Amino acid sequence: MRFAPAAAALSVLFAVSASVGNSAPEKGDPRALMLIAEGRAALNAGDAQKAIDAYEAALAVDPAYTGVFVALAEAARREGLQGKAITYYREALARDPGNLAAIAGEGEALVEKGAVEKARLSLNKLESMCGSGCVETRALAAAIAQGPQPRVLTAEAVMPNAVVTKN
Q: Using one digit for the tens of pLDDT, what is the confidence trace for 1-23?
A: 565 555 444 454 454 444 344 44
**Domain-by-domain residue ranges, the chain?**
27-148
CATH superfamily of 27-148: Tetratricopeptide repeat domain (1.25.40.10)
Q: Is the pTM of this model over 0.75?
A: no
- b/e map of 13-42 (b: 16 or more CB within 10 Å)? eeeeeeeeeeeeeeebbeebbebbebbbeb
Average pLDDT over the chain, rounded to whole?
81
- b/e map of 50-85 (b: 16 or more CB within 10 Å)? bbbbbbebbbebbeebbbbbbbbbbbbbbeebbebb
Range of lowest pLDDT (80-84, 97-101, 147-151, 152-156): 152-156
pLDDT digits (tens, 9 = 90+) for 17-59: 443 444 445 577 788 889 999 999 999 998 889 999 999 999 9
